[in-house]
Amino acid sequence: MIIIIQKNEIIVRHKNGQSKSFIAKEMGIARNTVKAYIKEYELLTKNLSTEKDKTKIVVMQELICCKPIRKQYVKPCSVFTEALKQRFNELIKIDEERNMVLGKNKQQLTAALLYRSLVQEGFKVGETTIRRYFGDYKQKHKECFIKQFYEYGDVAQYDFHQIKVMIDGTIMVFHQATISIPKCNIIFGLLYKNERMESFIDSLVQFFHFCKGVFKTLVFDNMSNVIKRFVYKKDKEYTDELVKLSNYYGFQIQTCNPYSGNEKGHVENSGKVIRRDFFSLNYKFDRVEDLYLYYERELEKRNAPFMDEFVKEQKYLLPLPTHPFELGRLQYAKANSFSLISIDGSFYSVPDKYVEKRVTCNIYRDFIMVYDDKMNLIAEHNIKDGKGEYSINIKHYIDTLLKKPKALKNSYALKQAPEILQTIYTKYFSTKPREFLHFLMDTDAFNDDLYELGIEMGVIKKSKYRRTIEYLNRKDYSDIDKTSIKQLAYTSNVFGQEGVSDEKY
């Protein structure tokens, strides 16, 4: 291919009267090449002499003066026959009609689906060919996006993203609460085991604490934690918990239109980028705690370049209330004949004197506090993650078991009791159930002697309780939360429940 100086020489020699053959011989260029450039020059010059549109004149002048451009040869695709082209366009039309009928939806036709459909119908064509033609079609219908400008302290965006990791050889799904700040490009994230309301509210409270202030507007999608129901003319009724939080902290709730994730595109992309960058190559962890530490460390590294801008934005935030929002969700429950209450599909014991009575439950992210009608605390339990699970404290059934001591041996309460109590029962009280029950009545759940006995017998892990206390010293929980979690961590080791989580789920 010739360069611009050669093109210039061809045109100059031609204007000086030299023949095409002579120019080709002198310059060592094929005669057809010389002929093509002279023909192009004469055609453009002729059209330029009669053109009056200034825009077209500029374009023609540029074509005369510009460097040579190689013309691309597109080989016709023999496989993409007229019959195939007709069916291809019919399927495209079905996709367009569906969009017109349903409006915005996520059931979009893809090149892979188009290819499979055509192959099933008997067409012999490669997936690469279909992808090329489908790409040409999509190129004609590219969506235009509007770049946004944000003021300091104005907007933060919220979304949940799922991640899959392997913990000690077991595949687990975690829910990443992602809150992004478009102005300073900071991303705040926490990992939870579910997307329940408690996790949702906790993530927002932790975000405000992290920012040391409140943004004027928070943007959400139409998740169930945000929208209670849709009412007339696309109006939305927000959930009571979110409205309470909005009233307390003073932020405005804003939601996207259905299927319009682009309206909070910053957090959509941020969550996906974090999920990809953090967990594409690193997805195996020995413990859940290792996952949390890795996530926190990587997030800090990612945010480090933007911290100066974030500090500047903090000056424009609304002030925080004096006390953080109480995270508990209030719910009433009635104990059944087994002295169990049902919360979110799992069952929790209360003292047997509350059978068939209504109790008040304050449900936190990790644990439940149960109160009687005079708001006296009667039971505490760790939250069960699954459905149909039981959390039973054997001490809740002592009065009934004293009346029916023979029921103790095969009772669910004893079977679910911690190994330390089962060992003590088997070793010392297997033939004296009533004495064992009196032993439980006289035993303080927070007694250091019983705790040390469990360590000596190898049925209590000392490190588990210590990790919880160490974590509390690092995290800014309220005094009430610290006391509750500390007591639950201690009680859990003695009464056979899983320890209270010392990280965000």
Q: Indicate which CATH number applies to the domain containing 29.
A: 1.10.10
Tens digit of each residue's pLDDT (9 = 90 or more) over 175-198: 999 999 999 999 999 999 888 888
| The pLDDT value given to residue 322 | 86
Q: Which of 269, 285, 314 is the last residue of a domain?
A: 314
Residue 376 and residue 270 share a domain: no
Residue 298 and residue 162 share a domain: yes
Q: How confident is the model at residue 451 (pLDDT cuts 50, 70, 90)?
A: low
Residue 283 and residue 216 share a domain: yes
Q: Which of 391, 406, 438 is the last residue of a domain?
A: 391
| The pLDDT value given to residue 348 | 92
Residue 297 and residue 174 share a domain: yes
Q: Is 137 helix (H, G, I), strand (E, B) or coil?
A: helix
Q: Which of 65, 95, 114 is the last residue of a domain?
A: 65
| The pLDDT value given to residue 13 | 87
The answer to the question of residue 247 being in a domain is: yes
Q: How far apart are CA 32 and CA 11, in angstroms?
A: 14
Residue 191 and residue 133 share a domain: no
Residue 301 and residue 366 share a domain: no
For residues 48-62, average pLDDT? 84
Which H or E element spans position 47? helix 31-50
Q: How far apart are CA 61 and CA 55, in angstroms?
A: 10
Residue 277 and residue 166 share a domain: yes
The answer to the question of residue 418 being in a domain is: no
Q: Where are the beta strands (DSSP E) in 168-216?
A: 170-181, 186-192
The answer to the question of residue 132 being in a domain is: yes
**CATH number for the domain that contains residue 205:** 3.30.420.10
Residue 248 and residue 121 share a domain: no
DSSP 326-380: P-PEEEEEE--TTSEEEETTEEEE--GGGTT-EEEEEE-SSEEEEE-TT--EEEE
What domain range is 117 assigned to? 82-140
Residue 295 and residue 179 share a domain: yes
Nearest by Cα to 501 from 415, 357, 383: 383
Q: How far apart are CA 187 and CA 20, in angstroms?
A: 66
Which CA distances in Å does 127 have to 75, 80, 81? 18, 12, 15
| The pLDDT value given to residue 460 | 53
The residue ranking higher by pLDDT, 59 or 462, is: 59
The answer to the question of residue 196 being in a domain is: yes
Q: Is the pLDDT of residue 346 over 70?
A: yes
For residues 486-502, average pLDDT? 47
Residue 202 and residue 258 share a domain: yes
The model's pTM: 0.57
The answer to the question of residue 191 being in a domain is: yes
For residues 22-37, average pLDDT? 88
Point out the least confidently predicted range of 70-74, 125-129, 171-175, 252-256: 70-74
The answer to the question of residue 87 being in a domain is: yes
Tens digit of each residue's pLDDT (9 = 90 or more) over 61-73: 888 888 877 766 6
Q: Is the pLDDT of residue 134 over 50?
A: yes
The answer to the question of residue 21 being in a domain is: yes
Residue 89 and residue 47 share a domain: no
User: Distance between alpha carbon 117 and the CA centroid of its chain, in Å?
Assistant: 32
The answer to the question of residue 269 being in a domain is: yes
| Under 8 Å between Cβ of 159 and 268 | yes
| Domain tally, the chain | 4
Q: Where are the beta strands (DSSP E) in 182-317?
A: 186-192, 217-220, 227-230, 236-238, 252-255, 284-285
Tens digit of each residue's pLDDT (9 = 90 or more) over 199-238: 899 899 999 999 999 999 999 988 888 888 877 666 788 8
Residue 299 and residue 223 share a domain: yes
